[in-house]
Structure 1
Amino acid sequence: MIDLWLKEDLEKIFSKNVVAVFIDEHTDAEFILDILNKTFNVHQANSEIEELHVKYLIEKEQPSATKHVIYTNLAKGDLKYIREYCEVNGCLDIRHLENYIKAKVHKALNLNINLPKDELITAAKVSIGKDLTYWMDLCHKGSSEIFDLKIELLPFIHDPVLFNKKYDDQLLTTFYQKVNELLGQEYIVKPPQTLADEIVAKMFDGLSCNDCDPVLESVYVQWLNSKEHDGSFDKYLTNYLSKNSNASILNSNQDIWNINVNHPFKLIDEQWLKAIGKDINNKAVLPNYLAKISQRDQSKQAQSLNTTFWADIKVLLEFDDKNIGYLSNREQCIEFYTKHFHKLDTAIRNLYTEFLNNPEILAPYQDYYKHLVDVFFDKWFKYIEGYQENQTGILQRIIDENSQKTAIIVGDGVAYELACEVSKKVSDNFKFTNEIIMADLPSLTVNNMSRIYMANGMVDKVQSKREKYLTKQNPSTEIDYVRLDEVNSEARSGQYLICTYKDIDDMGDKLNNKALKYFPESVDYFAQQIAVLLNSGYQKVFLITDHGFVLTGMLTDADKITPTLNGQSYVAERYIRTVDKQHSATSYVEIEKQYEEFNYHYFSRTMNPFKTPSVYGFAHGGAAPQELITPYFCWERTAETGGSLNAKFTNKADLKNVSGELYLLKIQADKSEDNIFEMERKVYLVKFFGKEQIGKSDVFTLKQGETINKEYTFDGNNEIEIQLLDALTKEQLDKAIVKKNNDRDLGGLF
């Protein structure tokens, strides 16, 4: 603040002259010169020779618009060569800086500040860059507010060496004294890093016993939210933990729940998890834990430290399985899964990702989850008879039912719960429809992908042949096929775009449980690419998949099912194929379905896998709801996300038979008296030869009822597709085919 006061006083002189003399006899204000020099041209003249030199430099530049400040610690009566500037231009004469400060504070706030000279000058140095509230606090609270430790401690902890360069020795001594008072210890000169380590140790000690000083807790909260000071926290925490074992953080007599809920210690979280795990089947005790779990789950500090698994623990413990008993048919089971049970699958997947290498923590939660699965599966498989898939020909149905420009993402192994996580990441600006598709049995990629693409019910192992079949069924419709990672913001020629994404199933099959850590990246990627598609001209984007998956987690040999079979058979983790009917397999789901030489398929009624040589963890092929209930999600641009003024090409017939090298496009905007708000729309044209984009126009504006003509050349192409797109949303408003008539160019000779 003092910097502003001094500048204001100097500017009064500069309002009439370009030279001002600043007299500071006791040199108390010398600290401000570096700041003044950023605004003015500052010269020091503390002797006759310096006075003469400064006067020469200034007058040499005359006339000049540069504002010159001459700083001197000589009394006004002792000045010689620059005395004239004082008399003619005026000067800022501060004989006692403490009195200058008091006068300024009183004038600004009508308050008296009573601090000793040294503390006032120290406060002035700290006030640089601050506003009047700083001085108001000093007037009311005294010298304790010279340094606001809630603000100053964090930059000091983050980089003590850099902080030391910020202040002079006097200020640093004052700051160190205040810090030691906070720590409750005598001030002793020590290296800055040592003091910083002591501050952080005091902070962490307080958090571990729920007795943290409010100032230090405030600094802790700032630290975790600060991007500027990001990076130093982990270093300090690692150093603290290396000096303090788990036993010292939690002493033997300490209640493990009497700890600050915002603490940074994963070791304490693990202690809490173990304690809850021991009581997980005690319905009377669990409510006592839920209050603490909810607090930890909502802690922004825990979230900043990526301690997010408490939300999943909360989902598990709060799930009420009583309603499962009321399910009386398959439709109700499906609805219950999509509304409620799938959240358990997400929770256990997240817990597997976090704790699969820590079975002591994970085991009780996995057992609890599998108990809930068994309860639900009893109902699910009770009504499995007569199961019907509706997956066959789904791509054809989407094409038939959607005339606007549409993209379909065909995922591989995108379980319903995973798709729900994707939906949370996509912007709410788009209309979202959440429906389901029931997958075919067995829930395998070759079988189910064939169902998606081929409405005839045939199975084809080759993806390109499935695409060829779909294209053949739609001879007058242009369909583009790409991998999802090939999607970008450029418009494509086809009315429909089918994007394949196989990473989830590929990773699951190859890496099993190790793939789990990559699934969140896939969720983010889906959401990102859905947004890209919606912002690149597609009115709708669908997300479908071939099948879901189950996670078997930690298994013992007793968990694996060893079937007794007759005749030729094939045993996979989630299904069995046999040539002959198995009369002893009454505990399995049986489907009579031919595949190669096999005639029957059998599926377990549990989450447990059949015993095979494979590596367990991630699996599909079975009849569990996690494998069969798949997403049929749709995001759609609404009127709010695009313009509503329609436009079209009015000379499409002429464009199909153009003679010469030039062709003319006539574009007309609708004239509607009903919509007074959509008076214009910004658009542009994109040209395609085949599926390749060969050019696009600049953006131009169509006004309501207006017709615009645009003329272009063929540039060596005989047939071009022109699309009219909205400049903001890239929505396709219309398209036209332009064909060159070469016969007419030659006068009909050929």
Structure 2
Amino acid sequence: MIDKWFKKDLDKIFDKHNIVVIMDESKKSKFLLDTLTNFTIYEAHNEIDELKVKYEIEKTKTEDSKYIIYTQTPKDKLKYIREYCETNGSVSIKLLQNYIKEKLFENLKLNLTLSEDKLISAAKVSIGKDEIYWRGLESGTSEIFDLEKELLPFLHRPDSFINKYDTHTKEQFFKTINKYLKQDNINKPAKTIANEVVFRIFDSLATNNTDKLGLIIYKNWLDSLEYKKSFDKYLKNYKLMENYDIWNIHPSHPFKQIDLAWLKQIGENISNKEKLINFKAKINQRVQNKEAKSLEIIFWKDVKVLLDFDLNDMNKLSSMDECIDFYTKHLYKVDQSIRAFYTEFLDKNDLLEPFQEYYKNILSIFLEKWFKYFDQYKQNQIGILKSIIESNDCKTAIIVGDGVTYETSQNIADLVSPEYNYEDNIILADTPSITENNMSQIYVSSGKVFEQLANREKFLKDEMSDKDIGFVHLDKINENTSYQYLISQYGDIDTLGDKMNNAALKYFPESEKTFASKIEFLLNNGYKKVYLITDHGFVLTGQLNEYDKIDVDFNGKIKKNERYIRTQDQQTISNQLIEKEQKHNEYNYVYFAKSMNPFKTVGAYGFSHGGLSPQELITPYLCWSNDSIDSNSLKAIIKNKKDLENVTGELFQIRLEINSATNDLFSNERQIYIVLFSNGTQISKSEIIYVSNNDKINKEYSFDGHAKIDIKVLDAITKEQLDYTTAKQNKDRDMGGLF
């Protein structure tokens, strides 16, 4: 605040005069000049300076000019500029501490009993602050330097921060820090002192002996986007003390090696229920800890899900429906957690193994029930695309994923904005759970299996030829994608898994984000409903031992896959296998294992599908809807659809009639445009057409080498499809163009 009071003294003089002489006999007040703007400032410390200053002022002086002359010479020893003190005005600062005291009493009625050094430092620090700063010093509730605010920027860039202070203020600042550190005030570089502060904070966290200031600085540091990078550098250079108690540490600590040490001990005692009780208290603290989340130490929530899962609930399952319901309400969360755990620790087998075994034990109990009632399992995947299209009149998009497990779909759902209505259902996949079979079930209502996607799409298009169906890969959709029924395939998860096995896991979160962003994009670009379905899920086998792999002794011609085996002849099998009679090329039977373990095959293990586990067969059937009501009832109808079915000549005309069933204010006008497509590719887009009720619009186009052109009329704002037809050119007769 000293800057405001100093400026106030100057303004009193400038109200009547153009020149102020500041006489700083203390030689400590020059910092006040740095707080001034919009003034011409001269310095005069001897007779020659005075003469030059007087010459410059007299030469340039105008009515509106304001000049400040700063000198450290007493008034009675001034020569050429003394008259300015008499004819204009002056501010005399003989002792800076006295000037500060005068201003404090004059403005705040305060009498501070601080030493000269502290008072001057306080004045310098007060620049830009308000009276709360001074009153805090008076009451003892604050210090000259507010370390809660100033320590963090100092730690971030020690040298550049401290250089803003003059030598005197630097000394006082370092004294304050050394007092906090409880050490002698020895002259050290700023970076050295900063390191001492940070290591004190880290030491206090490691020993669970924190102080209030250190904890505040630490938490603010992790919250700051501006300062976070410097924190990471300090943490990298810090070495934990030896022989510390890993369990006697602050719950907000930043040391991931401590978390890994905890994890190792928990893994070693994962079957000891009594010890787990004590461990869980620490786990719960860490799960909820804001600082751990800031440091991206987030795997504890997955450990918690695994350890908190109640095995007894599975004993009550008594039917396939109950098993399916249990998986989609409870067990899928365990799958989410183990996948995240694999992603984090796949290269740390010593940490992963006990938790993997714990997970497999949970799953084996469930699979015992699952396969006990598996004869009740009925797939309902066949013809699902046809069913969705037939049940929706609105503009609808269906995203067909490849290898999207139910648990993955729940992550996707969490990423989609809650502003849309959302339904969560399931589809039970056919077996074997492989792309060729399951994709065919989705696209082909007859149940016929097509190896190629193009053949599946052709079947659906031919079967529903009266519908405006388009096939666009999810990566290719944009604001011009406007099919009434959009089918969009996306196979990143399955492709990555097949190529990279477990190594693909780290890329799955990006795929989940892609799904979510495209779902929102479609809902915001005219699609009233967006579905997410998939062909099959997958299982993760994690780290495998040789004895985990299932070896069978089958006769005749066989084809082995990780999760199923096809044979030409029927085999004699144990009760650990399931047989299905199914014709596929030269094979007549397919066999599955009643477990998550793979058959022994050539090649890498980790990510696989084709089997009968719930992870492979229970697939998502999710639907988001944008139910915002379109208040505009103004319709744009193509009136000459029949004529467009058989056009003779090169040119064709689109005749639009605009009408509304109501007379409300919102239905008087609309913005529309016309888009033309050939073989699914946009070939033309009109300008925006402003239409009103009862308008008649005619637009003329050329076939330009296309025998058939799809015509769509869209709302320019909502992208809603208002009407649709197809123009077909008849080249048998040419009657000269227009019909």
| Same fold, judged at TM 0.5 (above) | yes
Q: CA deviation at 1:432?
A: 1.3
CA–CA separation in structure 2 for the residues paired with 1:238 and 1:78: 60
Q: Which region of structure 1 is more displaced relative to structure 2, 277-286 or 398-407?
A: 277-286
SS at match of 2:197: helix
| C-alpha contact 1:393 1:452 (8 A) present in aligned 2 | yes
SS at match of 1:589: strand
CA–CA separation in structure 1 for the residues paired with 2:663 and 2:243: 73
1:334: which partner in 2? 324
CA–CA separation in structure 2 for the residues paired with 1:720 and 1:458: 29
Percent identity, aligned pairs only, is: 46
2:183: which partner in 1? 185
- Pair 1:596 & 2:590 matched: no
Of 662, 665, 688, which residue of structure 1 is paired with 2:676?
A: 688
Give deviations 1:255-292, integer Å, cap 9, x for gaps: x2210011111111112112222332233432322221
| C-alpha contact 1:24 1:73 (8 A) present in aligned 2 | yes
Tell me the amino acid that sits aligned with residue 294 of structure 1: N
- Pair 1:347 & 2:337 matched: yes
1:196: which partner in 2? 194
- Pair 1:505 & 2:504 matched: no
1:258: which partner in 2? 248
CA–CA separation in structure 1 for the residues paired with 2:514 and 2:209: 43
RMSD: 3.5
CA–CA separation in structure 1 for the residues paired with 2:532 and 2:430: 17
Q: CA deviation at 1:385?
A: 0.5
CA–CA separation in structure 2 for the residues paired with 1:112 and 1:710: 85
CA–CA separation in structure 1 for the residues paired with 2:495 and 2:586: 27
Tell me the amino acid that sits aligned with residue 275 of structure 1: Q
CA–CA separation in structure 2 for the residues paired with 1:749 and 1:519: 55
Q: CA deviation at 1:601?
A: 1.4
| C-alpha contact 1:491 1:537 (8 A) present in aligned 2 | no
1:734: which partner in 2? 722
Q: Which region of structure 1 is more displaced relative to structure 2, 160-169 or 96-105?
A: 96-105
1:608: which partner in 2? 597
CA–CA separation in structure 2 for the residues paired with 1:458 and 1:740: 32
CA–CA separation in structure 2 for the residues paired with 1:190 and 1:92: 38
Q: CA deviation at 1:132?
A: 3.0
Q: Which region of structure 1 is more displaced relative to structure 2, 280-289 or 687-696?
A: 687-696
CA–CA separation in structure 2 for the residues paired with 1:188 and 1:632: 69
Give deviations 1:631-656, integer Å, cap 9, x for gaps: 111122132xx653333226745997
CA distance 1:138–1:740, shift in 2 (3 Å)? farther
CA distance 1:395–1:4, shift in 2 (3 Å)? farther
Which runs of 5 or more structure 2 residues have no equivalent in the other structure? Answer: none
| C-alpha contact 1:686 1:693 (8 A) present in aligned 2 | no
SS at match of 1:145: coil
CA–CA separation in structure 2 for the residues paired with 1:12 and 1:648: 73
Q: CA deviation at 1:549?
A: 0.7
Tell me the amino acid that sits aligned with residue 267 of structure 1: Q
SS at match of 1:322: helix
CA–CA separation in structure 1 for the residues paired with 2:60 and 2:698: 62
CA–CA separation in structure 1 for the residues paired with 2:105 and 2:510: 59
2:396: which partner in 1? 406
SS at match of 1:437: strand
Q: CA deviation at 1:686?
A: 5.5
Query: Following superposition of structure 1 onto structure 2, how do residues 385-534 of structure 1 map, counting pairs within 5 Å?
Result: 385-488=375-478, 490-534=479-523
CA distance 1:660–1:480, shift in 2 (3 Å)? closer
2:223: which partner in 1? 225
CA distance 1:82–1:270, shift in 2 (3 Å)? same
Tell me the amino acid that sits aligned with residue 381 of structure 2: Q
Tell me the amino acid that sits aligned with residue 528 of structure 1: S
Which runs of 5 or more structure 1 residues have no equivalent in the other structure? Answer: none
CA distance 1:669–1:257, shift in 2 (3 Å)? farther
CA distance 1:571–1:128, shift in 2 (3 Å)? same
CA–CA separation in structure 1 for the residues paired with 2:366 and 2:450: 34
CA–CA separation in structure 2 for the residues paired with 1:669 and 1:749: 29
Tell me the amino acid that sits aligned with residue 283 of structure 2: I
Q: CA deviation at 1:216?
A: 1.7
CA–CA separation in structure 2 for the residues paired with 1:88 and 1:698: 74
Tell me the amino acid that sits aligned with residue 36 of structure 2: L
2:155: which partner in 1? 157
| C-alpha contact 1:648 1:733 (8 A) present in aligned 2 | no
Q: CA deviation at 1:720?
A: 7.9
CA–CA separation in structure 1 for the residues paired with 2:23 and 2:657: 77
Give deviations 1:532-551, integer Å, cap 9, x for gaps: 22222222221111111111
Q: CA deviation at 1:442?
A: 0.3
Tell me the amino acid that sits aligned with residue 4 of structure 2: L
1:114: which partner in 2? 113
CA distance 1:499–1:249, shift in 2 (3 Å)? farther
Of 519, 533, 537, which residue of structure 2 is paired with 1:548?
A: 537
Q: CA deviation at 1:295?
A: 0.9
Tell me the amino acid that sits aligned with residue 139 of structure 1: E
CA–CA separation in structure 1 for the residues paired with 2:534 and 2:504: 18
Q: How many residues align?
A: 729
Q: CA deviation at 1:186?
A: 1.1
SS at match of 2:203: helix
Tell me the amino acid that sits aligned with residue 648 of structure 1: K
Q: CA deviation at 1:27?
A: 3.6
Q: CA deviation at 1:378?
A: 1.0
1:28: which partner in 2? 28
TM-score relative to the length of structure 2: 0.89
1:3: which partner in 2? 3
Tell me the amino acid that sits aligned with residue 2 of structure 1: I
SS at match of 1:285: helix
Give deviations 1:204-225, integer Å, cap 9, x for gaps: 1111110123222221112211
| C-alpha contact 2:668 2:693 (8 A) present in aligned 1 | no
CA distance 1:494–1:81, shift in 2 (3 Å)? farther
Query: Following superposition of structure 1 onto structure 2, how do residues 38-187 of structure 1 map, counting pairs within 5 Å?
Result: 39-54=38-53, 56-57=55-56, 63=62, 68-75=67-74, 90-106=89-105, 109-141=108-140, 145-187=143-185
Q: Which region of structure 1 is more displaced relative to structure 2, 420-429 or 14-23?
A: 14-23
Of 627, 635, 652, which residue of structure 2 is paired with 1:648?
A: 635
TM-score relative to the length of structure 1: 0.88
| C-alpha contact 2:269 2:275 (8 A) present in aligned 1 | yes
2:349: which partner in 1? 359
CA–CA separation in structure 1 for the residues paired with 2:545 and 2:63: 89
Q: CA deviation at 1:519?
A: 1.2
CA–CA separation in structure 2 for the residues paired with 1:61 and 1:263: 64
Q: Which region of structure 1 is more displaced relative to structure 2, 114-123 or 312-321?
A: 114-123
Tell me the amino acid that sits aligned with residue 541 of structure 1: V
CA–CA separation in structure 2 for the residues paired with 1:45 and 1:713: 85
CA–CA separation in structure 2 for the residues paired with 1:53 and 1:721: 85
Tell me the amino acid that sits aligned with residue 136 of structure 1: R
1:580: which partner in 2? 569
Q: Which region of structure 1 is more displaced relative to structure 2, 297-306 or 286-295?
A: 286-295
CA–CA separation in structure 2 for the residues paired with 1:577 and 1:740: 48
Q: Which region of structure 1 is more displaced relative to structure 2, 7-16 or 652-661?
A: 652-661
Q: Which region of structure 1 is more displaced relative to structure 2, 465-474 or 108-117?
A: 108-117
Q: CA deviation at 1:307?
A: 0.4
CA–CA separation in structure 2 for the residues paired with 1:638 and 1:19: 71
SS at match of 1:263: coil
| C-alpha contact 1:652 1:737 (8 A) present in aligned 2 | no
Q: CA deviation at 1:40?
A: 4.0
Give deviations 1:404-439, integer Å, cap 9, x for gaps: 222221111111111111111111111111111111
SS at match of 1:176: helix
| C-alpha contact 1:19 1:68 (8 A) present in aligned 2 | yes
Give deviations 1:653-699, integer Å, cap 9, x for gaps: 599789999988665567466xx9x6999855354354416446469
CA–CA separation in structure 2 for the residues paired with 1:746 and 1:297: 77
Q: CA deviation at 1:401?
A: 1.6
CA–CA separation in structure 1 for the residues paired with 2:231 and 2:459: 58
CA–CA separation in structure 2 for the residues paired with 1:708 and 1:67: 70
Q: CA deviation at 1:296?
A: 0.6
